[in-house]
């Protein structure tokens, strides 16, 4: 009996040591090293991350450098309808955006050519589409009717989640996205915070809602936390996770390319600007200890929105494979290569085994009204971006929200895409450029997590844990 007791005691000791080591290992695990299933999706993080980092990111990061996706045509100066958009205007050089001159553009994107199908196609008159025009054109871009009222009469109408700009308007400018990269500009404080507060709090489906508990530099905190999603219907959870995922992606970009200003006093106060990864800033936004546990939920929402846009691309593959969908810049060989790369990317998305399932949304008796509200609230989000007082932040905010809106349009236009509606499914060039670039930003965000994990590991190994 004594011998048996000794073995039980020895077993208990080993068990205690094992549990202690296991707990220690869990505690030392990087807060951005996530695992397990993505909320509201049948997909695990490990599979998605491996797929993105090894297959998608190398391809999409090169695709967006191609001329067709490099130049984004946008109205940068739409009026702000929510509050005084001129208050707190960012005057920093880093906030500025330089539009393209005519000679900077490929010939196919210059005035009179931007919506041609081929170099030999005649110019397209606004509102007079011709049969030879590509599905990617500007002929629908001046449609600014109130689609929400029209929805009551024609439920089959293609759902527009963003305002569609008239691409022939002189108010639109081409922006070279490579020459104006997304990165931290120094734009912060109350002016930046009020944008996210408006996005979260003025677009809540329930009273008292808000955004994530993202803390900004002025010390204020948005009132909505991840725990508030419990009890919401799927559609409302999707809306908030998409917005939170977009917010997370943008914050990851800003942390990965953070503006450091070094003053060289010995050279008459001359300053040097450099953009590098800022681990402390990344931890401030996402470390579970700093964010009271919210950082993990935010990072998971990044994977969620990635999965949603991935599904949209796979669903749009058939549309882009049409022979009359030409990514036209006026350079034949380059255009063919760009289409091949896009096709390769879309083929990848179709092979991914675990997609977001939009088919389970808007299925109950209240779905008609809920879908209408969903669209209206996302449309509000895209309009709030016009109130951003940093030009570069506004540029990338508009591009990423329009890209997300285009993805939602693809997901919820099944009848039109399958030819079962009188309203044909079409994408203008603006939508195509924003769709691919927005997905590329999400892809880079997930890839950046790999970099931050390595940085955290290095600081721990060097005994220089940053908080």
* Binding site listing for FAD: 183, 185, 196, 244, 247, 285
Q: Which residues are annotated binding-site positions?
A: 183, 185, 196, 244, 247, 285
Report, as residue numbers or ranges, the catalytic residues: 390, 393
Q: What is the DSSP letter of 74?
A: E
């Amino acid at each position: 009996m004594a011998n048996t007791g000794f073995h039980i005691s020895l077993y208990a000791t080993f068990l205690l040591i094992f549990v202690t080591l296991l707990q220690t290992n869990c505690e030392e695990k990087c807060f951005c090293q996530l695992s397990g299933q993505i909320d509201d999706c049948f997909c695990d993080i490990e599979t998605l991350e491996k797929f993105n980092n090894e297959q998608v990111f190398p391809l999409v990061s090169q695709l967006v450098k191609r001329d067709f996706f490099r130049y984004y045509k946008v109205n940068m100066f739409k009026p702000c309808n929510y509050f005084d958009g001129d208050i707190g205007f960012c005057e920093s050089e880093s906030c500025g955006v330089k539009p393209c001159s005519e000679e900077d553009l490929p010939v196919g994107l210059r005035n009179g050519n931007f919506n041609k199908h081929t170099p030999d196609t005649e110019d397209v008159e606004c509102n007079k589409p011709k049969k030879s025009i590509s599905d990617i054109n500007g002929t629908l871009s001046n449609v600014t009717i109130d689609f929400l009222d029209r929805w009551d009469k024609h439920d089959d109408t293609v759902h527009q989640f963003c305002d569609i700009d008239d691409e022939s308007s002189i108010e639109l400018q081409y922006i070279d996205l490579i020459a104006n990269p997304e990165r931290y500009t120094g734009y912060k404080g109350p002016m930046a915070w009020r944008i996210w507060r408006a996005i979260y709090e003025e677009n809540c489906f329930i009273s008292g809602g808000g955004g994530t508990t993202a803390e900004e530099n002025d010390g204020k905190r948005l009132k909505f936390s991840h725990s508030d999603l419990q009890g919401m219907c799927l559609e409302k959870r999707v809306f908030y996770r998409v917005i939170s995922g977009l917010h997370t992606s943008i914050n990851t970009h800003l942390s990965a390319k953070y503006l450091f200003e070094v003053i060289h006093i010995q050279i008459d106060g001359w300053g040097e600007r450099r953009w590098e990864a800022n681990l402390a800033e990344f931890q401030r936004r996402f470390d579970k200890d700093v964010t009271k546990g919210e950082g993990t939920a935010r990072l998971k929402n990044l994977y969620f929105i990635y999965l949603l846009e991935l599904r949209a691309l796979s669903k749009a593959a058939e549309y882009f494979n049409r022979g009359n969908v030409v990514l036209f810049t006026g350079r034949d060989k380059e255009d063919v290569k760009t289409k091949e790369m896009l096709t390769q990317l879309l083929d990848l998305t179709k092979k991914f085994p675990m997609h977001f399932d939009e088919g389970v949304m808007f299925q109950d008796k209240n779905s008609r009204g809920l879908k209408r509200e969903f669209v209206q609230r996302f449309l509000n989000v895209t309009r709030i971006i016009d109130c951003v007082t940093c030009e570069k932040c506004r540029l990338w905010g508009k591009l990423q929200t329009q890209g997300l809106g285009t993805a939602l349009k693809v997901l919820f236009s099944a009848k039109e895409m399958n030819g079962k509606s009188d309203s044909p499914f079409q994408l203008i060039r603006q939508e195509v450029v924003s769709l691919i670039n927005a997905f590329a930003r999400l892809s880079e965000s997930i890839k950046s997590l790999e970099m931050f994990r390595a940085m955290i590991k290095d600081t721990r190994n060097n005994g220089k844990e940053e908080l």
